Amino acid sequence: MKTIKVSVVTPDGPVYESDVEMVITRAQSGELGILPGHIPLVAPLVISSVRLKRDGKTEQIAVNGGFIEVRPDQVTILTPTAELASDIDVERAQRAKERAEQRLQDQHQEHIDFKRAELALKRAVNRLGVSEGKR
Ligand code: ATP
């Protein structure tokens, strides 16, 4: 089967590099499925998973938005943070989720930055989903 090279890179360095048969992720415009030979494309991503298919197996990475650049033989994902499903600290994500939910509930507190709390909640829910293979 044909493969395409995939790199997932954060400001702290590369998180993943491999050859895969298919890449699935979520751009702001909707889900993207990329096979080898895909037409060139650059798109902004949302907080979601990157699913990488090879030999009947799927690996998952939680990404925090950023950009995808597709060339026929190479996919590059640039994102502020990325974690392989197996590297996700579930308790940490659970704590982050509870903190964010608490902040969003405190509607009367003017000093709470809701947008920031919403994004923290999305990151935590995404990490929990990816760690369970559900994203
Ligand atoms: P927290 O409040 O727990 O720090 P956060 O969403 O604010 O969560 P980020 O700012 O997105 O955290 O990430 C900071 C760093 O910590 C990044 O390197 C990211 O990959 C890592 N990280 C964050 N949460 C987790 C997690 N649950 N498991 C593993 N690594 C994580």
Q: What is the pLDDT of residues 16-30, one digit of tens each?
A: 999 999 999 999 999
Task: Kindly report the three-state secondary structure assignment for every residue of 79-125.
Answer: CCCEEEHHHCCHHHHHHHHHHHHHHHHCCCCCCCCHHHHHHHHHHHH
Mean pLDDT in residue range 3-9: 98
Beta carbon of 89 within 6 Å of any ligand 1 atom: yes
Element spanning 49, H or E:
strand 41-54
- Do domains 4-85 and 88-131 share one topology? The answer is no
Tens-place pLDDT, residues 44-94: 999 999 999 999 999 999 999 999 999 999 999 999 999 999 999 999 999
Question: Which residue minimizes the CA distance to atom 10 of ligand 1?
Answer: 81
At the second CATH level, the architecture of 88-131 is Up-down Bundle (1.20)
Q: Domain-by-domain residue ranges, the chain? A: 4-85, 88-131
DSSP for residue 134: -
Q: How far is the CA of 84 from the centre of ligand 1 (A)?
A: 12
Q: Could you identify the atom of ligand 1 that is nearest to the CA of residue 64?
A: 11
The structure tokens listed for 134 are 């559900």
Quick check: 134 pLDDT over 80?
no
| pLDDT, tens digit, 9 for 90 and up, residues 96-118 | 999 999 988 886 677 778 889 99
pLDDT at 135 over 70: no
Domain 4-85: assigned CATH number: 2.60.15.10
State in Å: Cα 99 to ligand 1 middle.
Answer: 13
